[in-house]
Amino acid sequence: MKAKKSLLFYILLNILISAATTLVVLLIWQAAHPSPQMTGSKTIPEANSGTLSAPSSGEAETTPSKPEFLQEDLQVLIRSVVGAGNLAMEYVQIFNQSEGAVNLNGWQLQNGRGQHFTFPAMILNQDGAVEVHSKAGTSTVIELYWQSDAPIWQSGDTVTLIDAEGKIQATYQIP
């Protein structure tokens, strides 16, 4: 009987310590990775809608049409191309060094030979990166997949990143 009480005590102690540790880790994570703060009552546009919803209070809109956390002065670059010519390893890393988040919806990666990848609706946070893999796979928030059955990139190619308005935002020459 005493062994059962002792075992129950240690199980409860383990549960309490695990819960406290989880809480501490979540608090540290939240402090180190704050989510972008939006002001006003605007919402992020739906994919391909191109417009923002009006304030719910019914008063006229007096602020810019983009949420404040989305960056106007874009500084998105192609950081590297890894594994060019090898479909299993090949990917392009895109990095946002802007002062805020960037909406990549409708942006494209082009290889100069008529192939292009169009980004889905996604926000790339400040100092965030995303990898665009050439091979087939399931996309996540940090890895996108071109779904190609052959390599996209070759040595000497120029990778071009074009925004949704057709402006070149970055280029990268593959060695």
For 81-120, write each residue's pLDDT tens digit: 999 999 999 999 999 998 889 999 999 999 989 999 999 9
Q: Which residues lie closer than 8 Å to 93 by C-beta, 6 or more apart? A: 78, 79, 80, 81, 82, 129, 130, 131, 132
CA distance 172 to 175: 9
Q: What is the CATH number of the domain that holds 91?
A: 2.60.40.1260
The reply to whether 100 and 154 lie within a common domain is yes
Is 123 a domain residue?
Answer: yes
The reply to whether 30 and 92 lie within a common domain is no
Asked if the model's pLDDT at residue 3 lies above 50, the reply is yes
Give 101's DSSP letter.
B
What integer pLDDT is reported at residue 34 of this predicted model? Answer: 63
The reply to whether 91 and 164 lie within a common domain is yes
What integer pLDDT is reported at residue 5 of this predicted model? Answer: 78
Give the range of the structural domain holding residue 106, as residue numbers without chain letter: 76-173
State percent of the chain over pLDDT 70. 77
The reply to whether 29 and 80 lie within a common domain is no
What integer pLDDT is reported at residue 125 of this predicted model? Answer: 92
What integer pLDDT is reported at residue 15 of this predicted model? Answer: 93
pTM beyond cutoff 0.95? no
What integer pLDDT is reported at residue 57 of this predicted model? Answer: 43
The reply to whether 80 and 29 lie within a common domain is no
The reply to whether 83 and 29 lie within a common domain is no
Asked if the model's pLDDT at residue 53 lies above 60, the reply is no
Is 138 a domain residue?
Answer: yes
Q: With bands split at pLDDT 50, 70 and 90, how would you rate the model's confidence at 7? A: confident
Average pLDDT value for residue range 6-32: 86
Asked if the model's pLDDT at residue 163 lies above 90, the reply is yes
Is 156 a domain residue?
Answer: yes
CA distance 170 to 95: 10
CA distance 136 to 87: 9
